[in-house]
Amino acid sequence: MEDKPFMGTKEVARFLGVNEKMVYSLVSEKGLPATKITGKWLFPRHLVKQWLERHIVNAPDAASHLRSEGNLIIAGSHDILLDRMMGLFNRLHPEHLVLFGNLGSQGGLRALARGLCHMASSHLLQKDEEEYNFEYMVQEIEGELPAVVNFCRREQGLIIEKGNPRKIHGVSDLGEKGIRIVNRPPGTGTRLLFDLELEKAGLDGEKIDGYDRSFRGHLDVGLEILSGRANATPGIKSVARLLGLEFIPLRWERYDLLVSKERFFEESVQLFLGLLHEPPFKEIAAGLEGYDLGLCGKIVFPEKSGEGV
pLDDT digits (tens, 9 = 90+) for 125-139: 999 999 999 999 999
User: Counting Cβ atoms within 10 Å, is residue 266 exposed (0-12), middle (13-18) or buried (19+)?
Assistant: middle
Name the more confident of 216 and 56.
216
Instruction: Quickly state the pLDDT bin for 56 (edges 50, 70, 90).
Output: low
pLDDT one-digit tens code per residue, 4-17: 788 899 988 888 88
Q: How far is CA 233 from the centre of its chain?
A: 17
Element (DSSP H or E) covering residue 257:
strand 246-259
Backbone angles phi, psi at 247, to 5 degrees: -140, 130
How many CA atoms does the CB half-sphere of 309 hold within 13 Å? 27
Letter string b/e over residues 152-172, b meaning 16 or more CB atoms within 10 A of that residue's CB:
bbbbbbbbbbeeeebebeebe
**With 80 as the cut, is the pLDDT of residue 58 above it?**
no
Long-range contacts formed by 36-42: CB under 8 A, 24+ apart? 40/8, 41/8, 41/9, 42/6, 42/7, 42/8
Q: What percent of the chain has pLDDT over 90?
A: 73
| Residue range 292-308: mean pLDDT, rounded | 83
| Residue range 215-233: mean pLDDT, rounded | 96
Say how far apart CA 153 and CA 23 lie, in whole Å. 38
Instruction: Quickly state the pLDDT bin for 109 (edges 50, 70, 90).
Output: very high
Q: Where do you find CATH 1.10.1660.10 in the chain? A: 6-54
Say how far apart CA 77 and CA 187 lie, in whole Å. 9
Q: Where do you find CATH 3.40.190.290 in the chain? A: 71-309
Say how far apart CA 100 and CA 272 lie, in whole Å. 13
The sign one gets for the Cα dihedral 128, 134, 140, 143 is: negative
**With 70 as the cut, is the pLDDT of residue 304 above it?**
no
Residue type at 160 in one-letter notation: I
Long-range contacts formed by 15-18: CB under 8 A, 24+ apart? 15/48, 16/48, 16/52
pLDDT of residue 107: 95
CATH class of the structural domain 71-309: alpha beta
Instruction: Quickly state the pLDDT bin for 305 (edges 50, 70, 90).
Output: very low
CATH number corresponding to 6-54: 1.10.1660.10
Picking from 29-43, 57-71, 199-213, which range would have the lowest pLDDT averaged per residue?
57-71
H-type alpha helices, the chain: 9-16, 20-30, 45-54, 80-92, 104-113, 134-140, 189-200, 218-226, 237-243, 267-275, 279-286
pLDDT of residue 55: 67
Give the list of residues 6+ apart from residue 78 with CB closer than 8 angstroms, or none.
102, 121, 216, 217, 218
Say how far apart CA 284 and CA 28 lie, in whole Å. 41
Residue 238: Cβ within 10 Å count? 23
Collapsed DSSP state (helix, strand, coil) of residue 98:
strand
